[in-house]
């Protein structure tokens, strides 16, 4: 049955919580029978308030109100059997039970409305994340790609971390970045950088030129902050730009204040650090000569693990940082998808599920030529 059919016929939708309705009904019946059998000096009617109170744990405000009304009605019947409603104690008990039942129904109504609002906000957040961080393809030319995004806020799905890939010509370009700060401002900066990357990656021949274009874009965006914003001068984005040619066993990287990637090759894990890293994007509008390109070998079977500060700076209960390189050394035989899953699960276990910052993880493996379709060779390239 489709979701629309279920909504159109709510009576056909069975949930395990429906069986729990028997609990307040049994309580009402048991308390009423016990109250009828006891002498008039012993009054058990006030205990009926337990029934609507328990119902709030699994039912909505309508069901809670119905159970409350049933409890009040049962109390009226018990009062009639114990001498009638003229007794002062019975009247006060019925009034008190009515007030408490109405109160529990109101509490349940407010809770249900806040839950619905939270679900709607989360739905919008998930839609925003899908629009901001587009799902990466599993395969892109000669590359096998896997990624993961962990938001620090439990009820949020997006933050200031970002990643994207673009296949242009006979190469794949990758960006991984981390916006300083959190909240809507960080999301806006991340969206600006991702939009600029998706366009600029196709129009600049070198990584330094691409980095300069992205830096200009971020600087233009940051100039729009009000002058009253005390942190306006401290907004920046650490980023790492990666370029992987389709037909050459090398890779090029430009560091813009971002942690170096880890290269996994034949069971060994090695950081790929540039000797001349550049400042983060958006700090001073630097020229292309500022961005140093570091070239290294990247053969079939090698894996590059890219990540953001939220991974390295994650702490456990003893305030110890997450030992990423040490942990990755245990999973060097895994494919990118499994590797990312291992890092993600181990990171959450290290922090007991409480990340202090957003964390993005991206694994890229160059596959052997025989495992992927060979694209048309660029002019002058020999097989």
Q: Report how far Cα 28 is from the mean position of its chain's Cα atoms.
A: 43
**Mean pLDDT throughout 215-237?**
72
Burial label, 203 (beta-carbon count in 10 A; 0-12, 13-18, 19+): exposed
Q: Among 317, 322, 365, 373, which residue's Cα sits nearest to residue 344?
A: 322
Furthest-apart CA atoms within the chain: distance in Å: 106
Angle made by CA atoms 322, 326, 332, in degrees to the nearest 5 = 125
CA 103/CA 53 separation, integer angstroms: 10
CA 301/CA 335 separation, integer angstroms: 9
What is the DSSP annotation of 127-144? Answer: HHHHHHSPPPPSEETTEE
pLDDT top residue among 380 and 156: 156
Other beta carbons within 10 Å of 263: 18
What is the share, in percent, of the chain residues with pLDDT greater than 90?
42
* 220, containing H or E segment: helix 207-222
pLDDT top residue among 290 and 227: 290
> Which pLDDT score is estimated for 370?
46
Q: Is the pLDDT of residue 28 over 90?
A: no
Q: Report how far Cα 41 is from the mean position of its chain's Cα atoms.
A: 59
Q: Which of 41-55, 136-150, 168-182 has maximum average pLDDT?
A: 136-150
> Which pLDDT score is estimated for 326?
95
> For residue 95, which phi and psi values (nearest 5 degrees)?
-65, -45
Provide CB contacts within 8 A for 344, sequence distance 6+: 148, 150, 361
> For the whole model, what pTM was predicted?
0.69
CA 10/CA 279 separation, integer angstroms: 58
> Which pLDDT score is estimated for 3?
41
CA 329/CA 324 separation, integer angstroms: 9
> Which pLDDT score is estimated for 383?
33
Q: Is the pLDDT of residue 295 over 60?
A: yes
DSSP-assigned beta bridge partners for residue 364: 145, 304
Lowest-pLDDT choice from 98-107, 155-164, 205-214: 155-164
Provide CB contacts within 8 A for 329, sequence distance 6+: 268, 269
Angle made by CA atoms 300, 304, 306, in degrees to the nearest 5 = 160
Which whole-number Å values give the CA distances from 179 to 204, 239, 360, in the listed order? 23, 9, 12
Provide CB contacts within 8 A for 139, sequence distance 6+: 145, 372
**3-state SS of the chain: helix, strand, coil percent to 5?**
45, 20, 35
**Mean pLDDT throughout 254-271?**
95
- Half-sphere exposure (CA, 13 Å, Cβ side) for 163? 24
Q: Could you give the strand order of the β-sheet that contains 143-150, starting from the edge strand earlier in sequence?
A: 139-140, 143-150, 359-366, 303-307, 262-265, 268-271
> Which pLDDT score is estimated for 373?
52
Q: Which of 51-55, 78-82, 215-219, 321-325 has maximum average pLDDT?
A: 321-325
Lowest-pLDDT choice from 59-73, 120-134, 301-315: 120-134
- What stretches of 21-87 show up as alpha helix (H) in DSSP? 22-37, 50-55, 61-81
Q: Is the pLDDT of residue 16 over 70?
A: no
User: Tokens at residue 190, please?
Assistant: 């991340």
Provide CB contacts within 8 A for 275, sequence distance 6+: 292, 294
CB 145 within 8 A of CB 363: yes
The average confidence (pLDDT) of the chain is 83
> Which pLDDT score is estimated for 190?
86
pLDDT top residue among 284 and 98: 98
Lowest-pLDDT choice from 44-58, 176-190, 337-351: 176-190
> Which pLDDT score is estimated for 85?
63
> Which pLDDT score is estimated for 32?
83
Lowest-pLDDT choice from 9-23, 187-201, 212-226, 260-274: 9-23
CA 182/CA 139 separation, integer angstroms: 31
**Rg of the chain over all Cα atoms, to the nearest angstrom:** 31
> Which pLDDT score is estimated for 228?
45
Sequence-ordered strand ranges (E) for 117-246: 139-140, 143-150, 161-168, 171-179, 237-245
- Dump pLDDT digits (tens) for 344-366: 999 999 999 888 888 999 999 99
């Amino acid at each position: 049955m489709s979701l629309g059919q279920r909504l159109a016929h709510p009576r056909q939708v069975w949930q395990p919580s429906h069986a729990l309705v028997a609990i307040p009904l049994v309580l009402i019946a048991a308390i009423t029978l016990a109250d009828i059998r006891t002498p008039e000096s012993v009054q058990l009617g006030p205990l009926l308030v337990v029934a609507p109170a328990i119902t709030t744990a699994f039912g909505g405000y309508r069901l809670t109100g119905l159970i409350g009304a049933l409890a009040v009605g049962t109390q009226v019947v018990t009062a009639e059997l114990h001498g009638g409603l003229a007794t002062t104690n019975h009247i006060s008990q019925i009034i008190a039970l009515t007030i408490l039942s109405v109160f529990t129904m109101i509490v349940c109504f407010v809770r249900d409305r806040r839950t619905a609002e939270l679900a709607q906000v989360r739905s919008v957040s998930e839609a925003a994340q899908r629009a901001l961080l587009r799902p990466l393809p599993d395969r892109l030319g000669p590359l096998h790609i896997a990624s993961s995004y962990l938001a620090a806020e439990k009820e949020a799905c997006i933050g200031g971390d970002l990643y994207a890939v673009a296949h242009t010509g006979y190469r794949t370009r990758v960006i991984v970045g981390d916006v300083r700060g959190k909240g809507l401002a960080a999301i806006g900066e991340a969206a600006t950088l991702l939009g600029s990357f998706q366009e600029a990656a196709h129009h600049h021949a070198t990584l330094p030129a691409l980095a300069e274009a992205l830096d200009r874009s971020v600087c233009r965006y940051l100039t729009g902050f009000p002058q009253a914003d005390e942190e306006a001068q401290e907004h920046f984005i650490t980023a790492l730009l990666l370029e992987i040619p389709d037909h050459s066993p090398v890779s090029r990287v430009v560091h813009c204040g971002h942690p170096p990637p880890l290269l996994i090759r034949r069971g060994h894990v090695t950081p790929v650090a540039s000797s001349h890293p550049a400042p983060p994007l958006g700090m001073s509008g630097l020229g292309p000569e500022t961005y140093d390109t570091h070239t290294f070998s990247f053969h079939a079977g090698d894996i590059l693990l890219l990540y953001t500060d939220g991974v390295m700076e994650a702490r456990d209960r003893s305030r110890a940082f997450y030992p990423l390189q040490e942990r990755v050394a245990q999973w060097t035989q895994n494919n990118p998808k499994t590797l990312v899953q291992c890092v993600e699960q181990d990171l959450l276990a290290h922090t007991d599920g409480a990340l202090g910052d957003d964390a993005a993880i991206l694994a890229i493996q160059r596959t052997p030529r025989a495992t992927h379709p060979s694209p048309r060779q660029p002019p002058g390239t020999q097989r």
